[in-house]
Amino acid sequence: MDPIAKNPISILNELAINNKIKFQFEIKPKGSEFECVIYQNNRAISKGTGRKKQDAKLKAAESALDIIANLPLNSRDFKEKFNSNGQNSKENLKQIPANEMKKEKAQPPEEEKVIESPAQVTNEEENEKRANRIISSFSENYNEYMENKIKLLELSYDDMIDMQIVSEEIKEIEEELKCEGINLLHPAGSFVMSMIRRNHIEIDLIAEVTSKIGALNYNFIKGIWMKLLILRQRTLEARQEFNENPYKSFHPTKTVNISLQPELIENIENTYMSKDLPYILLSKEREGNSSIYVRIFFYDETNISSALAHYRLYEKKPLSSVKSKCCKLLRHWRDRLRLKGMPIELLDLLVEEFINENTTGLAFRIIMERIAGGIFFPESSFSCNDQNYGKLLEEWSLRSRIEVAKEASRTLIHLIQNKIDMILD
């Protein structure tokens, strides 16, 4: 925070902004001196006199601080909040909560005066600009906080209704899955992804299916997939009633598209590089054949490549496990990056930060999107917990970072065009 001078008027202005209080100053001649009266909500709260107007304002501001903030300039409390160099920070001022403003103890002078339009207001226009900034208030409750978040994300009330409907839908699917012998491990994605994609609804479920007949085979997987597909269709049909009620923003039969063909999770070419991303992914558990993991993605009609943020929802794995997921394509790209001068340890840290149990194709695409998006550029807001990250990044030249970002962008274009051979050149 930028320091400001230890000026009582400046301090009073900061308190006014942080606690949403408006002060007004009136200065008038009084004999050979000037008298300044400070008003709060058109009520006089303090006075000050001096040979100059500024002196009168300073004394009135000191008196107002004593009364309102209970911070006399010579008190120990004041010295603790403001250093001996005559400077203080805005952060210190924000530490004075609104509930400490002792308005009830403010004793007006004998000659109390209520005015409609003060003769002078100090920096009123500038204060209005500063007051319009987003400033967290100590008196702000949770509901106000959430409302501000919703406004920030530009979410409408209908968007919130959509989120609620989708969340209820997940609960219904969970109950149906239990009846089919499928235990839902981690329902996630509907609320979070709605917040990210705003007008797009996505349901992301991870279910564990236990086989009672021994080894799993393709027919068993396809059978589970068909049950889930029928279940989803049944749920959509039940939701058509929402088309005729006030929740008109949710049209499940129009906005949700269901894949017609099951895709195996390691089929990189068809799964991650075609326009039709799969909606239901199935993979065998690595440790044995007794169960499989089912990941169900119900996207809307528009699939956005940058909307792969659901990988952030999954439990992180050790780096060694992460590296094993990034096989041929990512290993090939590691060699290409090394030739361009990139510290390969940075790629490992990036993989550890963003890739969990994703498959090769998805992991590769996520890494490309992050690098092409400028995650290594100076203006990037990304920060890594690893203590070596900053040092490695500092030693890497900006020109080389730009070249790597360009290479990632070209690779993404090849991915979209489904040209693996050009990636592996």
| Per-residue pLDDT, 138 | 30
For the chain, the average pLDDT equals 53
Q: How far is residue 162's CA from residue 311's CA, in Å, rounded to a whole number?
A: 22
Provide the β-strand partners of residue 188. 204
C-alpha span between 176 and 215 (Å, rounded): 24
In this structure, how many other beta carbons lie within 10 angstroms of the beta carbon of residue 64? 26
Q: 138-147, 289-298, 346-355 — which one is most confidently predicted on average? A: 346-355
- H or E segment at 154? none
Query: What's the rounded mean pLDDT across residues 49-63?
Result: 84
- Work out the end-to-end distance of the chain between its first and last CA atoms, rounded to an integer number of angstroms: 50
Encoded amino acid at 316, one letter: K
Q: By C-alpha distance, which of 184, 333, 335, 164 is closest to 239?
A: 164
CATH topology of domain 316-425: Poly(a)-polymerase, middle domain (1.10.1410)
Give percent above pLDDT 90 in the chain.
Answer: 0
Interatomic CA distance for residues 160 and 198, integer angstroms: 10
Element of type H or E holding 189: none
In the chain, domain spans: 4-139, 141-314, 316-425
Whether the Cβ atoms of residue 305 and residue 292 lie closer than 8 Å to each other: no
| φ, ψ dihedrals at 45, nearest 5° | -120, -20
3-state secondary structure of 12: helix
Q: pLDDT tens, 205-260?
A: 333 333 333 333 444 445 545 555 554 454 445 444 444 443 433 333 333 333 32
User: What tokens appear for 424 in the block?
Assistant: 């592996």
According to CATH, the topology of domain 4-139 is: Double Stranded RNA Binding Domain (3.30.160)
Instruction: Write down the pTM of the prediction.
Output: 0.28
Q: Which residues 6+ apart lie within 8 Å of 252 measured at CB?
A: 236, 239, 240, 242
Q: What is the pLDDT of residues 156-194, one digit of tens each?
A: 554 444 444 444 544 555 565 566 555 443 333 333 333
pLDDT for position 51: 85
